[in-house]
């Protein structure tokens, strides 16, 4: 048996290629699919099936792309209601790939249509050696139950289904390897480990959500203090249900002149600057949104940019432009009008106006707080991160809503923005600058650097991500 995990860090997403005797299946593919085709070809495998464990909400999946390019059949759980030709599998159905048997279990709870895939290598054993759990069981966590509201289920009803699904998975042998669809950072769970695989036995021992408890206790735990789901989640799930456009059918973004970009800005285009915080802070087009290509670029783009919004990209080079376009498409942002030819260098060359955002260290932040008691500090991490330890006087305004939660903040005062490491805070400074804040500072290194420097904190200190 050939088995390979592909891990996409910016979406905390895991997908899989499974093969035997010249036949293969891809499970939960990302939208751009070249890597699966190349890898299958190198192993002498023909991709016969594309299997989705559920209708993914946090990214646009590659099942349509792979089916078009390889002739593979698409497989979904029978409750998915997919609107294209596919195989709708029920509990206990099986697919053969040479000497490998894929057996499907319906494991609802994260979504109604969720399935898990038992992988049986008949050359080794007649029992499953691996289980692909999608978003039902993560490493260190389980799937959140609140993403199916539009499908007529309450979070409590979904949590009850999840309880039963997990109970069934825990009946597998302890040495069965667990391979989920997401890792740390995904909003499809709350406490997902940075590990990308484990075993049933390890999860039975260490996963907080799998410890012995009553159904009622589990439901209460799983429906309390859930992080907010980004608005694009429901839209991406519907794109995956109806079938995404093929990437080759998307318009090719154009190289835009300075005048082109000026005209588009006047028309209300979103100017997306994908450079890193230091470069963005040194000088950028006024009103632009900074989401750096490091970090969870695609997830934050999906959260902060409407999927149908027209976008112009500002990047440092062709590689950043290409990467940006691909990664935006992964979450369904396809209306890319183009990119500024020559980047910010071309803008500066003709002395068009620029804005700057000073980047300050935690040492400088501490000195500024001592010298200026009126300095405003805004912590844009999630509430749980903020409560676990934050700089004194900092107020919490989570990034996803920082532009909506500024009524109590004076835009004329000096304002330092802090997160865990400096990535989210740079995004926040660009949002607040667009809303009239003129004396902004981005704290490089964030709360992690503040804690490591031994400076005082309020709450219980810990290092965030």
DSSP string, 167-184: HHHTTS-TT-EEEESB-T
Give the confidence band of 129 by pLDDT, cuts at 50, 70, 90: very high
CA distances for 175 relative to 135, 164, 259, 284, angstroms? 20, 21, 62, 53
Q: What is the pLDDT of residues 295-309, one digit of tens each?
A: 889 999 999 999 999
What the chain holds in terms of domains, given with CATH numbers, is 2-242 (3.60.15.10), 250-349 (3.40.250.10), 359-452 (3.40.250.10)
Find the farthest-apart pair of alpha carbons in the chain and give their distance in angstroms, rounded. Answer: 72
Do residues 362 and 455 lie in contact, with contact meaning Cβ atoms separated by under 8 Å?
yes
DSSP for 66-122? HHHHH-PEEEEETTS--SSS-EEE-TT-EEEETTEEEEEEE--SSSTT-EEEEEEET
User: Distance between CA atoms of 299 and 229, rounded to whole angstroms?
Assistant: 11
First to last CA, the chain: 36
What is the C-alpha separation between 68 and 47, in angstroms, rounded? 11
Per-residue model confidence as pLDDT tens digits over 137-195: 999 999 999 987 556 899 999 999 999 999 999 999 999 999 999 999 888 888 899 99
Question: Are 423 and 295 spatial neighbours (Cβ–Cβ below 8 Å)?
Answer: yes
**CA-to-CA separations, 58 to 181, 186, 187, 204, 231, in angstroms, rounded:** 11, 8, 8, 27, 10
Question: What would the pLDDT profile of 348-407 be if each residue is shown by its tens digit?
Answer: 999 899 999 999 999 999 999 999 989 999 999 988 899 999 999 999 999 998 987 677
Chain centre distance of CA 218: 25
**Mean pLDDT throughout 322-341?**
96
Question: What is the β-pairing status of strands 270-273 and 311-314?
Answer: parallel
pLDDT above 60: residue 462:
no
Percentage of the chain beyond pLDDT 90 is 87
Q: What percentage of the chain carries pLDDT values higher than 70?
A: 98
Per-residue pLDDT, 150: 54
d(CA 39, CA 34): 8
Unique residue bearing structure tokens 């996409």 = 8
Distance CA(303)–CA(286), nearest Å, equals: 21
297-304 helix and 423-434 helix, angle to the nearest 10 degrees: 20
Q: Record the pTM.
A: 0.92
């Amino acid at each position: 048996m050939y088995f390979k995990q592909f891990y996409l860090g910016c979406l905390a997403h895991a997908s899989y290629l499974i093969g035997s005797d010249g036949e293969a299946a891809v499970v939960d593919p990302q939208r751009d699919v070249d890597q699966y085709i190349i890898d299958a070809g190198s192993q002498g495998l023909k991709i016969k099936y594309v299997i989705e464990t559920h209708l993914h909400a946090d990214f646009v999946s590659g099942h349509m792309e792979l089916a078009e390019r390889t002739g593979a059949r698409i497989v979904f759980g029978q409750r998915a209601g997919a609107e294209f030709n596919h195989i709708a599998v029920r509990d206990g159905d099986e697919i053969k790939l040479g000497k490998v048997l894929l057996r499907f279990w319906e494991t609802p709870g994260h979504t109604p249509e969720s399935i898990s895939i038992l992988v049986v290598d008949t050359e080794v054993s007649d029992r499953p050696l691996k289980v692909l759990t999608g978003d039902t069981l993560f490493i260190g966590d389980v799937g959140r139950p609140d993403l199916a509201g539009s499908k007529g289920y309450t979070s409590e009803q979904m949590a009850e289904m999840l309880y039963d699904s997990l109970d069934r998975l825990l009946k597998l042998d302890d040495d069965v390897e667990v391979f989920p669809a997401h890792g740390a950072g995904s909003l499809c769970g709350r406490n997902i480990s940075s590990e990308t695989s484990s075993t049933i036995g390890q999860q039975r021992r260490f996963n907080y959500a799998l410890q012995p408890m009553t159904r009622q206790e589990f439901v209460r735990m799983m429906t309390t203090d859930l992080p907010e789901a980004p608005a694009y989640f429901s839209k991406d799930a519907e794109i995956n249900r109806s079938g995404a456009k093929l990437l080759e059918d998307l318009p090719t973004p154009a190289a835009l002149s300075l005048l082109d970009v000026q005209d588009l800005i006047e028309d209300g285009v979103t100017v997306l600057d994908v450079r890193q915080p230091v470069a963005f802070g040194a000088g950028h087009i006024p009103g632009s949104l900074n989401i750096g290509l490091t970090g969870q670029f695609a997830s934050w783009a999906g959260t902060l940019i409407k999927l149908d919004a027209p976008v112009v990209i500002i990047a440092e080079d062709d590689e950043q432009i290409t990467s940006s376009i691909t990664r935006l498409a992964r979450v369904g942002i396809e209306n890319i009008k183009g990119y500024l030819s020559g980047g910010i260098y071309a803008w500066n060359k003709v002395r068009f106006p620029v804005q700057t955002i000073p980047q300050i260290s935690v040492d400088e932040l501490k000195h500024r707080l001592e010298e200026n008691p009126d300095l405003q500090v805004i912590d844009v991490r999630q509430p749980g991160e903020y409560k676990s330890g934050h700089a004194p006087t900092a107020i919490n305004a989570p990034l996803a809503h920082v532009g909506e939660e500024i009524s109590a903040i004076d835009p004329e005062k000096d304002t330092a923005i802090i997160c865990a490491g400096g990535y989210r805070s740079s995004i926040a400074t660009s949002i607040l600058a667009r809303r009239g804040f003129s004396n902004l500072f981005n704290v490089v290194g964030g709360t992690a650097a503040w804690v490591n420097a031994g400076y005082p904190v309020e709450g219980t200190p810990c290092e965030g991500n």
